């Protein structure tokens, strides 16, 4: 068989090449055009968002980034609250999701019997296929009432009195709010982080692990002393990937975050994110209005934040992606 | 009841199909976009009117703001908006504005032990609740109004529409009409900066929030409250009477409105009359005065002419309020006088 392969390869340069030279050129051109198209599209979107947002940037200047005003009636807009909400919910989601994802990946690569790994792995990946509107409805109709009736009152009574962190757990138990949004987001980004972690854990050369086991290490010691140090940069890349997803999530967050343009110290308070503000306000913004411009400016800011996060993730994951 | 409605719409559909062939020959297509508030009745009218007029109306409820954008750019045949445009805006865009139907808003609450229509509120108190100044249901001001009820020591959680909407516009118009403080601090718009409470998406979001949270108060369209059996409140009207949200109280409000305002932008908020419900509002249609396609423009007017003549019952069934007869005639006169193609009136009915 290997001989046959060599023969075909050997025979190739002669006849078909001349006939295909035009085809080759067309194909190469088409592929390059496709590649360039993506770059142009990306650049076009950035430029378009920036131009659209320019009137807002002009009107409010740099303070647009941290101003907490959002008053459509008197046309004063600021991105402060939505940037704060976007970052806080995404970071909280990471805090909830990473330990869970680590547990999933650890189970799937080291603990679970091989026959169980496939179904559990598939189930986790299927979480990524659930449309975000479903998460939104589930969060609003199921999780928010549970939070309002049980979780939030309990937390308010137990942790709300503590000095320092007590401030995080106060206020009326609406059910919706920053915390609920972060929890829903955590579940949504879990499959991305867990899948990355599982993949990189599996890439640890077995010889390292077996040497450690040979020295008498327990499974946990192998994980902590060999697997994690070997993969930590890729793991961080996977976490950034999840963060990127969490920053731009719109529909599910809109349902449960409470949608108020206020920065509250408590985790139960309502807030908003860039994506939720844009989704909610877009339908009622007239062409040429300052409000529409402010929304486009918000879109530009979100684009920049996501771009930075995803670029970092690609940078950290580069060794794994090459492999 | 539900079954009968289904049957009715099924037979309408059948009628539409039966006359379809003939209808298509004389009819045509028109497109409209805008307000979500009247969307159910426009869809019903479009479905029922297709058989009678042969005109297929394709209405997209994309929101008043988007509807105004689309009619300004003339990408649709008519726009629809809950908030009336100012005379100046109408002149700039060369649009004719006329009301199509009226609707009403109700306050909904979730207080343990309080049933539908029991709680009495005033506009001033609603404004204070939404300003975050009254925060407990057993506030002395609320207790004094409701001597027969036991109001619990429960935090008030105001819920509002987080998406920009005509419903919010009508609601805050009412709050601004009765409370100078609201007018000054918050103002009126399709989305405003609510000083207190939590926002939810759409009528169903507000209703869901109120259902979930003990102590919540919200506002929805009456049609939505009726079909979902929500707990509504009484309101004190301008005459000082407490009224329940009933069809009679809506009609009473509609009768005392002044329809001669510029752009026919009658305000039905906080009307006189002992039985008037205070939060009633018309919704508007925007039609180019210089249509590029006279035929399509005529079809839009034909459709609304049909709806005014025959659609009252359908509107009432959906808990909307049909326009009074004199207002309909006023609209037809305006069509004739103001919508012209090549100097000739497009409407000659």
Q: Do A283 and B198 touch (CB under 8 A)?
A: no
pLDDT digits (tens, 9 = 90+) for B252-269: 888 878 888 888 888 889
Within a domain: B275: no
CATH number of the domain to which A160 belongs = 1.10.3720.10
Residues B217 and B129 in one domain: yes
- Among residues B86, B34, B20, B26, the alpha carbon closest in space to that of B65 is found at B34
Within a domain: B118: yes
Contact, B344 vs B317, CB < 8 A?
A: no
Q: Do B72 and A281 touch (CB under 8 A)?
A: no
Question: ipTM score here?
Answer: 0.73
Residues in contact with B194: Cβ distance below 8 Å, sequence separation at least 6, in sequence order: A260, B130, B158, B160, B186
Q: Give the pLDDT of residue B1.
A: 41
pLDDT digits (tens, 9 = 90+) for B323-338: 988 899 999 999 999 9
Q: Residue A52, exposed/middle/buried by CB under 10 A (0-12, 13-18, 19+)?
A: middle
Residues in B closer than 8 angstroms to A275, CB to CB, are none
**pTM: predicted TM-score of the whole model, two decimal places:** 0.80
CA atoms within 13 A on the CB side of A208: 16
What gap in Å lies between CA B212 and CA B283, rounded to an integer? 30
Residues B224 and B111 in one domain: yes
pLDDT at A1 over 50: no
Contact, A273 vs A248, CB < 8 A?
A: no
What gap in Å lies between CA B207 and CA B104, rounded to an integer? 16
* pLDDT band, very low/low/confident/very high, at A189 (cuts 50, 70, 90): very high
Within a domain: A141: yes
Q: Give the pLDDT of residue B14.
A: 44
Helices (H) and strands (E) in chain B, counts: 15, 13
List the structure tokens of A191.
């499959």
Residue ending a domain, choose from B224, B258, B292: B258
Q: Which domain holds residue B215?
A: 105-258
Within a domain: B273: no
Within a domain: B129: yes
List the structure tokens of A316.
């950290």
What gap in Å lies between CA B183 and CA B200, rounded to an integer? 23
Residues B231 and B123 in one domain: yes
Measured in whole angstroms, the distance separating CA A266 from the mean position of its chain's CA atoms is 24
Q: Which domain holds residue A256?
A: 52-322
Within a domain: A21: no
List the structure tokens of B327.
């207002």
pLDDT at A245 over 50: yes
pLDDT digits (tens, 9 = 90+) for B153-180: 888 989 999 888 888 999 999 999 999 9
Residues B249 and B168 in one domain: yes
pLDDT at B28 over 90: no
**A195-213 average pLDDT score:** 91
A171: phi > 0 → left, psi -120 to 50 → alpha, else beta; which? Answer: left
What gap in Å lies between CA B225 and CA B203, rounded to an integer? 9
pLDDT at A163 over 90: no
CATH number of the domain to which B327 belongs = 3.40.190.10
pLDDT at A202 over 80: yes
Closest partner residue to A287 (CB to CB) among B62, B69, B188 is: B69
Q: Do A176 and B205 touch (CB under 8 A)?
A: no
Residues B174 and B303 in one domain: no
**Of A314 and A189, which is predicted with more confidence?**
A189
Q: How many structural domains comprise chain A? A: 1
Within a domain: A17: no
Measured in whole angstroms, the distance separating CA B268 from the mean position of its chain's CA atoms is 11
Q: Give the pLDDT of residue A21.
A: 87
- % pLDDT > 90, chain B: 56
Q: How many structural domains comprise chain B? A: 2
Q: Do A72 and B189 touch (CB under 8 A)?
A: yes
**Quick one: DSSP state of residue B86?**
P
Residues B75 and B129 in one domain: no
- H-assigned helices in B27-153: 39-53, 64-72, 87-93, 123-130, 140-145
**A59-80 average pLDDT score:** 90
Within a domain: B274: no
Q: Do B191 and A176 touch (CB under 8 A)?
A: no
List strand residue ranges (DSSP E) for chain A, in order: 70-71, 76-77
B101: phi > 0 → left, psi -120 to 50 → alpha, else beta; which? Answer: beta
Measured between CA atoms, the residue of chain A closest to residue B33 is A283
Within a domain: B320: yes
In 3-state terms, what secondary structure has residue A104? helix
- B73 at interface of A, judged by CB pairs closer than 8 A: yes
pLDDT digits (tens, 9 = 90+) for A93-103: 999 999 999 99
- A75 at interface of B, judged by CB pairs closer than 8 A: no
What gap in Å lies between CA B41 and CA B314, rounded to an integer? 7
Residue ending a domain, choose from B190, B223, B258: B258
pLDDT digits (tens, 9 = 90+) for B67-86: 888 999 999 999 999 889 99
Q: Give the pLDDT of residue B117.
A: 92
- B60 at interface of A, judged by CB pairs closer than 8 A: no
Residues in contact with A115: Cβ distance below 8 Å, sequence separation at least 6, in sequence order: none
What gap in Å lies between CA A156 and CA B69, rounded to an integer? 46
Residues B128 and B217 in one domain: yes
pLDDT at B133 over 80: yes
List the structure tokens of A159.
């942790």
Q: Give the orientation angle of helix A274-281 with respect to helix A80-106, to 10 degrees.
A: 120
Q: Give the pLDDT of residue B88.
A: 92
pLDDT at B12 over 50: no
Residues B84 and B213 in one domain: no
Residues B96 and B113 in one domain: no
Gyration radius of chain B over CA positions: 21
Q: What is the mean pLDDT of chain A?
A: 87
In 3-state terms, what secondary structure has residue B345? strand
Residues B47 and B185 in one domain: no
List the structure tokens of B143.
């207790």
pLDDT at A48 over 70: yes
Residues B72 and B138 in one domain: no
pLDDT digits (tens, 9 = 90+) for B202-252: 888 899 889 888 899 999 988 888 888 899 999 999 999 999 999 889 988
Within a domain: B270: no
What gap in Å lies between CA B270 and CA B278, rounded to an integer? 4
Q: Give the pLDDT of residue A16.
A: 52
**A51-76 average pLDDT score:** 91
Within a domain: A77: yes
């Amino acid at each position: 068989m290997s001989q046959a392969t060599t023969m075909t390869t050997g025979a190739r340069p002669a006849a078909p090449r001349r006939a295909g030279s035009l085809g080759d050129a067309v194909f190469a051109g088409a592929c390059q055009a496709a590649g360039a198209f993506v770059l142009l599209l990306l650049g076009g979107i950035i430029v378009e968002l920036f131009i659209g947002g320019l009137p807002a940037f002009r009107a409010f200047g740099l303070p647009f980034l941290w101003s907490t005003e959002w008053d459509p009636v008197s046309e004063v807009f600021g991105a402060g609250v939505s940037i704060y909400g976007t970052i806080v919910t995404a970071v909280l989601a990471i805090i909830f999701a990473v330990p869970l994802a680590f547990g999933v990946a650890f189970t799937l690569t080291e603990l679970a019997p091989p026959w169980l790994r496939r179904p559990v792995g598939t189930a986790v990946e299927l979480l990524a296929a659930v449309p975000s509107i479903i998460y939104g409805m589930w969060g609003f109709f199921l999780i928010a009432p549970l939070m309002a009736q049980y979780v939030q009152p309990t937390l308010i009574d137990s942790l709300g009195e503590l000095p320092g962190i007590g401030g995080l757990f106060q206020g009326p138990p609406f059910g919706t709010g920053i915390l609920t949004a972060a929890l829903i987001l955590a579940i949504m980004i879990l499959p991305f982080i867990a899948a990355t972690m599982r993949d990189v854990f599996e890439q640890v050369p077995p010889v390292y692990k077996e040497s450690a086991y040979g020295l008498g290490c327990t499974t946990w010691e192998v994980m902590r002393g060999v697997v994690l140090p070997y993969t930590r940069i890729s793991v961080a890349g996977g976490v950034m990937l999840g963060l990127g997803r969490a920053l731009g999530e719109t529909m599910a967050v809109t349902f449960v975050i409470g949608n108020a343009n206020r920065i509250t110290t408590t985790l139960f308070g309502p807030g908003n994110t860039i994506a939720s503000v844009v989704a909610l306000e877009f339908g009622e913004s007239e062409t040429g209005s300052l409000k529409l411009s402010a929304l486009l400016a918000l879109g530009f800011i979100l684009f920049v934040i996501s771009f930075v996060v995803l670029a970092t993730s690609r940078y950290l994951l580069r060794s794994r992606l090459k492999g | 009841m539900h079954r009968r409605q289904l049957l009715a719409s099924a037979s309408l559909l059948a009628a539409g199909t039966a006359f379809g062939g003939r209808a298509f020959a004389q009819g045509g297509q028109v497109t409209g976009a805008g307000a979500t508030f009247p969307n159910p009745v426009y869809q019903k009218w479009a479905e029922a009117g297709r058989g009678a007029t042969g005109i297929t109306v394709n209405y997209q409820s994309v929101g008043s703001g988007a509807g105004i954008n689309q009619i300004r750019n003339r990408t649709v045949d008519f726009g629809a908006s809950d908030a009336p445009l100012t005379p100046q805006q109408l002149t700039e865009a060369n649009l004719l504005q006329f009301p199509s139907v009226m609707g009403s808003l109700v306050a909904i609450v979730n207080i343990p032990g309080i049933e539908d229509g029991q709680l009495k509120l005033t506009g001033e108190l609603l404004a204070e609740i939404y300003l975050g100044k009254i925060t407990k249901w057993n506030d002395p001001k609320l207790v004094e109004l409701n001597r027969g009820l036991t109001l619990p020591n429960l935090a008030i959680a105001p819920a509002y529409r987080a998406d920009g909407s005509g419903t919010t516009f009508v609601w805050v118009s009412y709050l601004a009409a009765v409370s100078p403080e609201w007018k000054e601090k918050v103002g009126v718009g399709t989305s405003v900066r609510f000083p207190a409470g939590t926002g939810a998406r759409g009528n169903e979001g507000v209703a869901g929030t109120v259902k979930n949270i003990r102590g919540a108060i919200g506002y929805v369209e009456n049609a939505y409250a009726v079909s979902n059996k929500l707990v509504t409140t009484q309101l004190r009207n301008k005459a000082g009477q407490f009224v329940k949200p009933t069809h009679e109280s809506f009609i009473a409000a509609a009768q005392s409105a002044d329809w001669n305002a510029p752009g026919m932008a009658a305000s039905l908020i906080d009307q006189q009359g002992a039985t008037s419900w205070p939060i009633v509002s018309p919704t508007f249609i925007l039609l180019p005065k210089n249509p590029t396609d006279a035929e399509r423009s005529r079809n839009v007017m034909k459709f609304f002419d049909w709806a005014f003549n025959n659609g009252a019952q359908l509107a009432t069934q959906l808990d909307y309020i049909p326009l009074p007869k004199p207002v309909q005639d006023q609209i037809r006169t305006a069509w004739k006088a103001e919508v012209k193609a090549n100097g000739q009136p497009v409407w000659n009915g």
